[in-house]
Chains A and B, each alone.
Chain A
Amino acid sequence: MSKISSVMNIGQRSMMNSQTGLQTVSHNIANKNTEGYSRQRVELVTNAPPADMGKYQIGTGAKTQTVTRTNNPHLEKQIEQEMTKLGYGQGKAAYLDRVEQVVNEQNSKGLNHYMGEFFNAFRELANQPESLPIRTQVKETAIQLTQNFKKTNSDLKTIQREIDNEISGELTEINSLTSEIADLNQKVESAEIQGAPANDARDRRDLLLKKLGEKINIKYSEVDRGKVQVVAGANIVLVSGYDAAELKPNSSPAQGNKREGNVDIMFQLNPRSSQFRVTDQITGGKLGGMLEVRDQVVNGMLDRLDHLAYTIADNINAVHATGYDQRGRAAGRFFAASSSGELDYSNNIAVTNLVQNDVSHIAAGLVPDAPADNRIANYISSLQYKPLFNGKDTADDFYNGLVGELSVVTRKARAMSEHQQEALTQLKNIRESISGVSLDEETVKMIEYQKAFDASAKLIKTADEMLDTVINLKR
């Protein structure tokens, strides 16, 4: 049985629905530029006819069931994973660019040049072993070579230190991200326990997870009642329920590929518990990329640089020590020995004090008391083209190989990060296509709700007039 009051009720509820709609539209428009925002929709359902309707099943209007966000969780997860790759690529490429500059000889002189100069100085010495100026020149060129080894070594270590600093900064950010995620877990749970989806909190949490993923390789999943658990690496539980653990930098002795003095990443469940080392588990994200540059690439280069410096010095020393110096004395080493052997030799390499203080100690001759004997000098300069490395590579080959390999790695990292950027943009496009706010669309909705609001008001007015008519029947 139809009732006038029912029309009035439907009109009133409809006006409320339109208002809810308009409010959602305004929320959407306001958040058009909010990062990670998913547009929201009001879901209306028909109100079922009351049980005593009688013969005709006439509905009682519409009601707002819920406000949902338009969002594809799988896509969000995929974006997070791609961001991990992007972060890794970018972290790697940014620092490889720097490492590459250390060996870039396009605009300035580097080891390749100074090695050539060094061997040429011995050729010059072979021309005139008696000449003091030329001996001094040999000494100076040798010192230049050692200084360049040292500079390359320290440039590389500076990059490692900078990476360490940035790692510490990133860890602070990671800690603030994880603690906010833990807070959001609480908000989502307490909102959803009452049945309403926590749209904005979830959007925010998705965004933070993506940001976290860009920094470190994580896996996350929703466990109970809308809370996410975040695990980095294999078993570093960063967020569980309402609690977030912390990652801390710690300089520690050499371990694995890591050299002494570089920072390790430590896991601490809460401020009272003890820390343990998780560096090896971090293989992705910006941190993973930076760690790889620091521990694999740069340390690999340092090792090879040490080997290069040591092999050159060792071979030259061996020959030099068989010779006789300008005053007919049996000569000693040309390069000073290092107590740590090959380790860090590119930093420790130096011309012996004996030679530095008195260039007559440089041996050019094979036999004593033969001032123009240049056979040792000749032999030392011929070492430039001798296969001192693995029996097949010359010093030049070895160094050029190092530069070549590094530039390939750098090129690859840069290409990967560019490619990843594009792939990610594609995914973000898809995400925005689903979740992004379109002003045109919202405008249409606005008009739609406004018209509905108008019409609903009209309904109430009509019902009012009908009631007037009924009341005036008796008059």
Chain B
Amino acid sequence: MRVSDAQNYLNTNLAIGKNRNEMSELQTQAASQKRINKPSDDPVGTTKLLSSRTNEQGIAQYLKNQDFAKDFLDFTDKSLEELSNAAIRAKELALSQANDPSSSESSRQAVATEVRQLYNQVLQVANRRFGNRYIFGGYQTVQKPFDGEGNYRGDRGEMMIEVNKGDYIAMNVPGDMIFLGRDAKKGGVYNSVPQDSQDLIQTQIKEMREQENKSEESQQNTNIRGPASVRTASEALSKQSDFGDMSYLGNGENVFKVFSDLEIGMMANDKGAIQESLEKLDTVLDQVVHARAKVGSRVTNLENTAATLHSAKVDEKAKQSTIEDVDAYELFSNLSKNESTLKATMATSAKILQPSLLDFLK
């Protein structure tokens, strides 16, 4: 083949240009230590990276949520422990005052004061705050859920916290469950959250209707409010509506009522009432233990999920690293390979481009 001078230059340019280009790409990789520096370096890898990063972001948030929920639950547990101690103390007092040999009218009078203090302690626990939020008010976290008579002003709301993709855990226990005995023995760890907008709207309609009914009822109650006897009747009525959908009515007790009944029993020196209270205090303890078990199992569950998430986080990191990080050995061997190719190209080019017939015609 005939070789013209221009060809030599053309080929030399192409070869050196190609080498230089490869060199510059390798250098970019060496500088960033990344194999993927722009999406087109590896389209499939890039999309994998993007979704892995989103997962990682999610995991970080779930871990944060878990810490938050765990603090809340731990605090709830501590409060319940106090409640349980108060109930135990009340039971001790009731036991000691339930029969004549060990006690007398005067001792019962004295104990009644302590029971009143216990009642106040229970009320304090019921209105406990975590940060700025009342923990036993359901969704009603900005006002005291219980008034001095132990009337519940909160609702049944459970704050569902997302602790893993699509997994929610209830962070709070509504106060009426613990203190009024609603659904005392019910409840698992996970509660369902609305799955689609239909579900969401249905729930909304149902709850709004319930709220409406409730306010109508309380209005009726206010209307018939009159003499004391009627008031108790209406109160009982409203209590009943609170316990309306409860299947474990026998298991649930109004803690405040139990304590104040005990106090009244002591004051009235009524042994029968005190003995009755003993039984009810057992139910209260049961109720509290059950609530604590519920809280405890949620915490355990959180810890398990946390362990899973922590390892998932590491997995995502590892995955990202395999996809985007450069293999140092490969990179440096490529670099030196490329360098020697470049040198060889330059050396041969210098040899080819130099001589011409003119050099020999002197």
Contact = CB atoms under 8 A, between A and B. Distances in A.
A155 interface: no
B133 interface: yes
Contacts of B201: 322
A152 interface: no
Interface residues of B, number: 68
B200 interface: yes
B61 to A, nearest CB: 4
A365 interface: yes
Interface string A415-445: 0000001100100110011111111100110
A378 to B, nearest CB: 6
B61 A371 contact: no
B194 A375 contact: yes
Given A120-B58, A385-B166, A438 B4 contact: yes
Contacts of A105: 50, 53
Interface stretch (A74-82, A185-193, A305-313, A405-413): A405-413
Nearest to B7: A432
A378 B193 contact: yes
A367 B57 contact: no
A295 interface: no
Contacts of B301: none
Contacts of B161: 126-127
Contacts of A277: none
A407 B160 contact: no
A225 to B, nearest CB: 31
A434 B5 contact: no
B68 A127 contact: yes
A381 B46 contact: no
A116 B193 contact: no
Interface stretch (A40-48, A174-182, A234-242, A396-404): A396-404
B61 A396 contact: no
B37 to A, nearest CB: 6
Nearest to A323: B204
A447 B360 CA distance: 13
Interface stretch (B83-91, B137-145, B181-189): B137-145
A120 B54 contact: no
B204 A322 contact: yes
A404 B1 contact: no
A471 to B, nearest CB: 42
A472 B220 CA distance: 161
A106 B34 contact: yes
Given A100-B38, A130-B132, A371-B140, A433 B3 contact: yes
A103 interface: yes
A414 interface: yes
A116 B57 contact: yes
A220 interface: no
B324 interface: yes
Nearest to B142: A371
B197 A127 contact: no
B130 to A, nearest CB: 10
Given A115-B54, A443-B358, 20 more contacts: A104-B38, A104-B39, A106-B32, A112-B50, A117-B57, A120-B57, A128-B68, A130-B133, A366-B200, A367-B204, A370-B139, A370-B157, A378-B162, A378-B193, A403-B46, A432-B6, A433-B2, A436-B4, A439-B357, A439-B358
6 contacts: A120-B60, A130-B132, A378-B160, A432-B6, A436-B7, A440-B356
Interface of A: 32-33, 39, 96-97, 100-101, 103-107, 112-113, 115-117, 120, 123-124, 126-128, 130, 318-319, 322, 365-367, 370-376, 378-379, 381-382, 384-385, 396-397, 399-401, 403-408, 410-411, 414, 421-422, 425, 428-429, 432-440, 443-444, 447
Interface of B: 1-7, 10-11, 14, 32, 34, 36-40, 42-44, 46-47, 50-51, 53-54, 57-58, 60-62, 64-65, 68-69, 132-133, 137-142, 155, 157, 159-162, 165-166, 168, 172, 193-194, 197, 200-201, 203-204, 207-208, 211, 324, 356-358, 361
